[in-house]
Amino acid sequence: MTAPALAARARLFAALGDPARLAMVERVAAGPVSVSALARPLSLSLAAAVQHIQILERTGLLRTEKQGRVRLCRLEPQALRTVEDWLTERRTAWNSAFDRLADLLTQPEPSRPE
Amino acid sequence: MTAPALAARARLFAALGDPARLAMVERVAAGPVSVSALARPLSLSLAAAVQHIQILERTGLLRTEKQGRVRLCRLEPQALRTVEDWLTERRTAWNSAFDRLADLLTQPEPSRPE
DNA sequence: AAAATACTTAAATTTTCACTTGACTATCCA
DNA sequence: TGGATAGTCAAGTGAAAATTTAAGTATTTT
């Protein structure tokens, strides 16, 4: 599995970037939920909730399955791992940023920025 | 330091949810950069770049400092740790989701969803 | 001192988003 | 069977967001 392109990662972050959707993800992380159980605590209409859920589904954050007249939503942990991987990539960089800072404090030779 | 409220975390994700800003964060993670060095590879006007940078600054993802006529942008690793912390919180939950799945496979007593 | 560089600011425009409304379908329960 | 429940779909609306434009300031550089 190859790392998603920047645009795809941005869509993932954007999906988490709405308070309603973030709350939904948190709720779904605790276990499977129906659409109305996601909508109710957020005072969202069902129609609005469905639209958020579609976005979360498209970005791979959750997967749904219809059982009778109820649609069950489950977390797709894979997507959150993508976020983890991205952080890991950055961590290397920002650690070396700390290293450079440490260098500055010991030997006064700043690396010239672009 | 207390965990940011849901709304604040959503704003953080939203800041990363724009392709231009995500690219900027990746670039800044590699070391300090000027505003134009951030704008150029993205084919953004300076004015547009400045506005993105302001958003990244407000959400705490970076900090800037003017040196002469150049404004230098640096990563603020603290903000990315907030994302890490959020993932850690969810990980517990989604691991126990896996546990429940394992339970299902061994003993056929599904936990009823809401 | 003059020209070029590197932003800054505000206002106008375009585009995208979240949400609503209203009508409709499928399932469950009494 | 009939009514309530759970969700679906397609427009339409309003507000927020991203980008452009245009004019201005501060700092080099020559």
Task: Measure in Å the smallest separation between the Cα of B83 and chain A Cα atoms.
Answer: 8
Q: Give the pLDDT mean for A94-105.
A: 54
Q: Mutation test of the interface with chain A: which of B85, B90, B96, B100, choosing the one with the most A Cβ atoms within 10 A?
A: B90
Q: Assign A113 a pLDDT band (cuts: 50, 70, 90).
A: low
Of B51, B91, B113, B19, the C-alpha closest to A36 is B113
Is residue A98 in a domain?
yes
Domain of residue B59, CATH code: 1.10.10.10
Calpha distance A15→A12 (Å, rounded): 5
- What contacts B88, CB < 8 A, 6 or more positions away? none
In this prediction, residues A25-32 reach a mean pLDDT of 96
Residue given tokens 């605590």 in the structure block: A41
Return all residues near B105 (Cβ < 8 A) that are at least 6 apart. Answer: none
Strand partners, B34: B72
Mean per-residue pLDDT for B87-103? 68
What pLDDT score does A92 carry? 79
Is residue B70 included in any domain, yes or no? yes
Structure confidence by residue, pLDDT tens digits, A57-88: 999 999 999 999 999 999 999 999 999 999 99
Over residues B95-99, the mean pLDDT reads 57
CA atoms of A21 and A15, how far apart (whole Å) = 7
Supply angle C-alpha A66, A71, A73, rounded to 5: 110
Q: Which residues of A touch B (CB under 8 A)?
A: 6-7, 9-19, 22-23, 25-26, 29-34, 37, 72, 74-75, 77, 80, 83-84, 87, 90-91, 93-94, 97-98, 100, 111, 113-114
Provide the residue range defining the domain that includes B81: 6-106
Residue A114 lies in a domain: no
Rounded CA separation A14/B17 (Å): 4
Q: How confident is the model at residue A105 (pLDDT cuts 50, 70, 90)?
A: very low
> In whole angstroms, what is the distance from residue B74 CA to residue B70 CA?
13
Total structural domains within chain A: 1
B94 falls within a domain: yes
In the predicted model, is pLDDT for residue A49 greater than 50? yes
**CA A73 – CA A32 distance, rounded (Å):** 5
Give pLDDT, residue B114: 59
- Asked whether residue B114 is domain-assigned, the answer is no
Distance, in Å, from the CA atom of A39 to the CA atom of A37, rounded to the nearest integer, reads 6
Residue A1 lies in a domain: no
Q: Give the whole-angstrom CA distance, residue A4 versus residue A31.
A: 26
Describe chain A by its helix, strand, coil percentages, rounded to 5. 65, 10, 25
pLDDT digits (tens, 9 = 90+) for B39-67: 999 999 999 999 999 999 999 999 999 99
Inform me whether the pLDDT recorded for B100 exceeds 90: no
